[in-house]
Chain A
Amino acid sequence: MVSEEVKATYEAVIGLEVHAQMLTKTKAYSSDANEYGARPNTNISAITLGHPGTLPKMNKKTIEYAIKLGLALNCEIAENQHFDRKNYYYPDLPKGYQITQDKTPICANGFIDLKMEDGTVKHVGITRIHMEEDTGKSIHDVDVYDSLVDLNRAGTPLLEIVTEPDMRSGDEAYVYLTEIRQLVRYLEICDGNMEEGNLRCDANVSVRKKGSKEFGRRVEVKNMNSMRNVQRAINFEIDRHIEAIENGEEIAQETRSFDAVNLRTISMRTKEDANDYRFFPEPDLQPLHVSQDQIDAIRAEMPVLPKALFEKYTKELKLSEYDANNIISTKPFAEYFEELIKYTKNYKSASNWMNGEVRSYLNQRGATIEEFPIQPGKLAELIELIDNGLVSNSVAGQKLFPVLLEQPNESPKKIAEELNLIQDSDEDSISAVIKEVIKQHPAEAERYKNGEKQLVGFFMGQVMKASGGKADPKSANKLMRQLLEEN
């Protein structure tokens, strides 16, 4: 084992290649449905099957999606581009080549600024984003004798996002993937689900001595089917490289696969097996021209992105970074919040409700915000009841909220009235309750007077109980101290 001090003299150099399946209705080059989970080999026409004489039929939506992501990642959008063929043989690649963009990616030279947990900002360059098509799926573990091929996925449009070798740890890679996933979901161009394979990631990892300008020998890691596994695989690779270097061993330039069971990487193939893909311009598709007007039109339709929302929430609404991050976690959640703050200016309370009661309701049911029964306007009414001192925060949460969930179209105030939850801030009636409580607990009252001031909590509890939770805690607290002293 290499000591932490030795490890600290090294730095890792990491670049990621992410493949995002686009959420278009049809495939990249045919009218076949683009859907996950259909019965094998049902979304296949002559084009998907690569039958003789077929030609690719460009799905223009893919260009729009690519430009959206490019703009979100601060890329330059190429005005003129073409498609290329990447030639290789595999049973799940029916044409014997993949249509991709080799020489002229649609987007290039972008960046993303990652917000790290410690508050620092990590700048990661985006080398390029290009469009290509997915392959089918080879299935080796279902049939005892044969490998099976499902071509439903063949021709699914993909965006490949390639970073500069700017990341230095598995943690940075993890944050990068989190933000990319959030971005593609906000843009509604990809489901962003690594477990289902619609977001996939390959990592290029090398290690060098800190301060060195040269890169170490690079290894590509594949088959990591979750963001955590990307982080784990990278961290494993970094340790493996450092240990090898320390032991004077050479690192092979190879492709490795992550073994999710044993949490390690294993060699898949070495560079000697590398294919010559014989890229050349795809003659069946016209070169693509993207006009500035087209780019401007797409820019105008871009949704507000999480980064802008975060800025707004922390700077304008004065929410904590933690709260802001929770609100922007998903687009629909942020959209609900945006709607909510149209009705209430108590942003802090709105955020607390969203990140508290609302989220725990959703979590308990495994539901999404779209399925949440209470409309933002009603939730704002509830917040207003608290702000006006008509119900206490705890009563609102424990008693009013559950009823409102059942009767989401009812006015919260009406429910509070019907359930007799409007809190009492009338000093006379509260005093009467307090006096009664003190009378019932003479020993505790005596101890209070002798200096055990923390017993005020005990008395408050008794008062709330006796009042059925309706006593306004603020007034009750004040009166309580007064009456205990006077007792």
Chain B
Amino acid sequence: MYKTFNEIKAALEKGRSVQDILQSYLENIKERKDLNAFLEVFENSAKEQAIAVDEKIKNGTAGRLAGMVIGIKDNLCYKGHKVSAASKILEGFESIYTSTVVERLIAEDAIIIGRLNCDEFAMGASNENSAYGPVRNALNEDYVPGGSSGGTASAVAAQLCTVALGSDTGGSIRQPASFTGTIGLKPTYGRVSRYGLIAYASSFDQIGPIANNVEDIALVTEIIAGGDEFDGTASSKEVPSLTPTPLKQKMKIAYIKETLDTDGVDPEIKERIEQLVNCLRADGHELIPVSFAYIEQMVPTYYVLTTAEASSNLSRFDGVHFGYRSNEAKGVEETYIKSRTEGFGDEVKRRIMAGTFVLSQGYYDAYYTKAQKVRRLIQDRTNEILAQNDFILLPTTPSTAFELNSVKDPIQMYLQDIYTVQANLAGNPAISLPIGKHSNGLPFGLQLIGKHFGEKELLDTSAYLMDFC
């Protein structure tokens, strides 16, 4: 079992081959098949890669990720491999190109071991919306792993791969990380190219890693980040070395009072955060309580804007050019209706309907335009706090993981995102760190939001907190 890349490097030093390491991961995957974390294991291509990387190691030409075994969420394209966004509408669809992130990982000799289950089109907070069955939490199989990157989180927690890529539109990396005791980073919007990520909401989506230590998060982020001619929204800002280094000075951290002074948050989570605040103060850091007036508006704003974008992004799944086409349909109109009706799951349909509604003539201003304005207010307030503080500290989730099939009300499920959507609305980087263990035996995360493109400081502080706590 290899929990971190350091362990793999040590094994390689001792003469183990990448093929051996891959084999042990493949065996783990078989053993934990009931997690339903992998939708497909790319056994053949991974083995071919491993042989090639072993050869490179021998020749001294191996890249920085030689020996690392990476799983990718099933919404990332990899040429010649199937990709389905956990939806029936892309059943059997094979990508004809490779996403920028996967290309960059492979260029550094990472092994791509397979595609990981998730909520359909990354829409969900429990990974129960997959057309291919729910993912189970690696720490307790009666519980959900969170979503939408549930397969990603559970696979890392169960050590079915060293690191896995997820995508985070409103918390889809951080919330599952919180539920599975792993670390999950959502980079700054524009830090990582989205080319090859099946879009849910383009102005929110960001690819990021889940791993078992901060070093692995840092290394993978450093490699996948940076400008890309195929993504006009990706920043060409230089990517610094992200390897965590010790803090040079005491920090100033804001924590949002409203996230703690509420019945909505589990008392043990609240208590842990308060304890941490006191510890940090005692260590000489400044911890500043701030107020954030828009907490209640965040989830509605998020859902108006993301569903609007999703309703358009998902138009291409029409049964005409690729993916699932209804056998029943006659004529083009019926092909659209039947293919989409049969191909999409309930949650996806719900969001397409909502998004279509908020963009409709006569409703656009009341919903879409208004939500854009509120988004701007949330951005401004977040930046204002971060102009005076290094980070914002808040819970990742209001509770620990819940049992499978226990949350039935969509609104209740949407409220899972209450503390995570802020970073997506404002575009800031945010990380979930496993700093708590609940009396119910499940882990929970603490969230740190950093300044735009402040991944380096965010990761340095994360490493510090992981040791400190």
User: What residues of chain A have their CB less than 8 Å away from a CB belonging to chain B?
Assistant: 45-46, 49-58, 85, 87, 89, 91, 94-97, 147, 149, 276, 278-280, 283-286
Contact = CB atoms under 8 A, between A and B. Distances in A.
Contacts of B93: 52
Contact of A95 (B99, B197, B315): B315
A51 B322 contact: yes
Contacts of B77: 51-53
A94 B312 CA distance: 12
Given A46-B96, A278-B356, A52 B232 contact: no
A55 B205 CA distance: 13
Contact of B97 (A46, A285, A286): A46
B316 A94 contact: yes
Interface in B171-200: 194-199
Nearest to A282: B202
A283 B318 contact: no
B318 A96 contact: yes
Interface of B: 75-77, 83, 85, 90, 93, 95-97, 99, 194-199, 201-203, 229-233, 308-309, 311-312, 314-318, 320-322, 332, 336, 356, 359-361, 364, 368
Contacts of A91: 320-321, 332
A40 to B, nearest CB: 14
Contact of B318 (A89, A276, A279): A89
Given A49-B321, A94-B321, A278 B230 contact: no
A97 B321 CA distance: 14
Contacts of A46: 96-97
B232 A284 contact: yes
Nearest to A87: B312
Chain A binding surface SS class:
loop
A284 B233 contact: yes
Contacts of A87: 311-312, 315, 359
A381 to B, nearest CB: 53
A52 B316 contact: yes
Nearest to A274: B361
Contacts of A149: 320
B359 A286 contact: no
B90 to A, nearest CB: 7
Contacts of B312: 85, 87, 96-97, 278, 280
Nearest to B362: A276
Contacts of A50: 316, 321
Nearest to B76: A53
A55 B321 contact: no
A54 B95 contact: no
Given A53-B196, A85-B312, A91-B320, A286 B332 contact: no
A95 B321 CA distance: 10
Given A97-B315, A278-B361, 17 more contacts: A46-B97, A49-B321, A50-B316, A51-B322, A53-B83, A85-B312, A91-B320, A94-B316, A95-B316, A96-B312, A97-B312, A278-B311, A278-B360, A280-B312, A280-B359, A283-B201, A286-B232
A55 B315 contact: no
Contacts of A283: 201-203, 233, 309
Nearest to B234: A55
Contacts of A56: 232
B179 to A, nearest CB: 26
24 contacts: A50-B316, A52-B83, A52-B95, A52-B198, A52-B199, A53-B95, A53-B97, A53-B195, A53-B198, A55-B231, A55-B232, A55-B233, A57-B229, A85-B312, A89-B336, A91-B320, A91-B321, A94-B316, A95-B315, A95-B316, A97-B315, A279-B359, A283-B201, A286-B233
Contacts of A96: 312, 314-316, 318
A285 B97 CA distance: 21
A280 B315 CA distance: 14
A46 B196 CA distance: 10
A50 B318 CA distance: 11
B197 to A, nearest CB: 6
A279 B358 CA distance: 11
A147 to B, nearest CB: 8
Contacts of A58: 232
Contacts of B318: 89, 96
A286 B97 CA distance: 23
B202 A284 contact: yes
A87 B313 CA distance: 10
A50 B322 CA distance: 10
A63 to B, nearest CB: 13
B194 A55 contact: yes
A2 B96 CA distance: 62
Contacts of A45: 97
B199 A53 contact: yes
Listed from nearest, the 4 A-B pairs whose CB atoms lie closest are A96-B315, A283-B202, A278-B359, A283-B203
A54 B195 contact: yes
